[in-house]
Structure 1
Amino acid sequence: MKIFVLGTRGIPDVLGGVETHCEELYPRISKLGHDVTIITRTPYIKDKSVKLYKDVRLKHIFAPKTKSIEAIVHTFLGVLYAGIKRPDVLHVHAVGPMLLTPFARLLGLKVVVTNHGPDYNRQKWGKLAKLILKTGEYLGTKSAHKIIVISNVIKTILRTKYNRQDPFLIYNGVNIPKLAIDDDYIKSIHLEKEKYIIAVGRFVEEKGFTDIIKAYSSINTPYKLVLVGDADHETTYSKQLKKDAIEAGVVLTGFIRGKELHQIFSHARLFVMPSYHEGLPIALLEAMSYNLDVLVSDIPANLEVTLGDNYYFEVGNIEAIKSSILNTLETSEKSIDYSKLLHDIYNWDIIAEQTIEVYKTLQS
Structure 2
Amino acid sequence: MYTLIPPISATPPERTVIFVGLRGIPEIQGGVETHVAAISARLAERGWRVEVLGRTPYLPSQRPYTWKGVTVTPVWAPRSRSFEALAHTALGLIVAAGRNPDLVHIHAIGPALLTPFARLLGLHVVVTHHGFDYERQKWGRLAKSILRAGEAMGMLFSHANIGVSKVIVDSVRRRFSVGATFIPNGVENPFPQQDTSYLDRIAVTPRRYVLSVGRIVEEKRHLDLIRAFARLGDPGLKLVIAGTADHAGRYQREVEAAAAATPGVVMAGFQRGEALSQLYRHAGLFVLPSSHEGMPMVLLEALSYGAPCLASDIDANLALDLGADSYFPLGDIAALAEALRAKLAAPNPTEGAERAARVLDSFGWGAIVDRTMEVYESALLGWKASSPRRGRAGLGRRVEFGGR
Deviation at 1:260, TM superposition (A): 1.3
- Residue 246 of structure 1 deviates from its aligned partner by 1.4
Map of 1:116-135 to 2, 5 A cutoff? 116-135=130-149
In the TM superposition, 1:1-364 aligns within 5 A as 1-49=15-63, 51-164=65-178, 166-221=179-234, 222-249=236-263, 250-334=265-349, 335-336=351-352, 337-364=354-381
In structure 2, give the amino acid aligned to 1:218. R
How far off its partner does 1:50 sit?
Answer: 5.1
Q: Comparing 65-74 with 49-58, which one deviates more in the overlay?
A: 49-58
Q: Distance in 2 between matches of 1:49 and 1:5?
A: 17
Tell me the matched-pair count.
363
Q: Distance in 1 between matches of 2:271 and 2:64?
A: 20
Instruction: Tell me how far 1:314 sits from its aligned partner.
Output: 0.6
Q: String of CA shifts for 1:70-123, please: whole Å, max 9, x gaps.
A: 011110011111111110000000000000100111122110000000101100
Superposed structure 1 runs of 4+ greater than 6 Å apart: none
Deviates more, 1:173-182 or 1:197-206: 173-182
Counterpart residue type for residue 127 of structure 2: V
Amino acid corresponding to residue 72 of structure 1 in structure 2: L
Q: Tell me if structure 1 keeps the 8 A contact 2:308–2:347.
A: no
Deviations 1:307-344 (A, max 9, x none): 11111111111111111111111114333412332233
CA distance in 2, matches of 1:351, 1:225: 33
Amino acid at match of 1:316: G
**What is the CA–CA distance in structure 2 between the aligned matches of 1:161 and 1:315, rounded to whole Å?**
26
Amino acid at match of 1:230: T
Cα separation, 1, equivalents of 2:94 and 2:270: 32
SS at match of 2:114: helix
Stretch moving more, 91-100 or 237-246: 237-246
Q: Cα deviations across residues 218-238 of structure 1 (Å, max 9, x unaligned)? A: 112221111010101011111
SS at match of 2:253: helix
Give the 3-state SS of the residue equivalent to 1:28 in structure 2: helix
Q: Distance in 2 between matches of 1:264 and 1:294?
A: 13
The change in CA–CA distance for 1:49 and 1:78 in structure 2 (over 3 A counts) is closer
Shift of 1:289: 0.8
SS of residue in 2 equivalent to 1:259: helix
State whether residues 29 and 353 of structure 1, in contact with CA within 8 Å, keep that contact through their aligned partners in structure 2: no
- AA matched with 1:251: V
Q: C-alpha separation between the residues in 2 aligned to 1:341 and 1:169?
A: 19
Q: Calculate the aligned-residue CA RMSD, in Å.
A: 1.1
Tell me if structure 2 keeps the 8 A contact 1:201–1:229: yes
Specify the code of the residue in structure 1 equivalent to 2:30. G
Give unmatched runs, 5+ long, in structure 1. none
Paired residues of 1:196 and 1:270 also in contact (CA < 8 A): yes
Task: Name the amino acid aligned to 1:110.
Answer: H
TM value normalised by structure 2 = 0.88
- Could you tell me how far apart the structure 1 residues matched to 2:348 and 2:360 are? 23
Task: Tell me how far 1:47 sits from its aligned partner.
Answer: 2.2
Q: 8 Å contact 2:63–2:73 — kept in the other structure?
A: no
Gaps of 5+ in 2: 1-14, 382-404
**1:3-60 Cα distance to aligned partner (Å, 9 max, x none):** 0100110001111000011111110011011000000000001223451010001111
Cα drift, residue 247 of structure 1: 0.8
* Larger Rg computed on CA atoms: 2
- Measured after TM superposition, the shift of residue 345 of structure 1 is 2.0
Displacement of 1:264 in angstroms is: 1.1
Asked if structure 1 preserves the Cα contact closer than 8 Å seen for 2:64 and 2:71, the reply is no
Q: Secondary structure at the match of 2:51?
A: strand
Cα contact 1:171–1:345 (8 A) shared by 2? no
Secondary structure of residue in 2 paired with 1:361 = helix
The TM-score with structure 1 as length reference comes to 0.97
State the 1:176 CA deviation. Answer: 2.3
Paired with 1:246 and 1:362, the residues of 2 have a C-alpha distance of 52
**Does the CA-based 8 Å contact 2:304-2:357 persist in structure 1?**
no
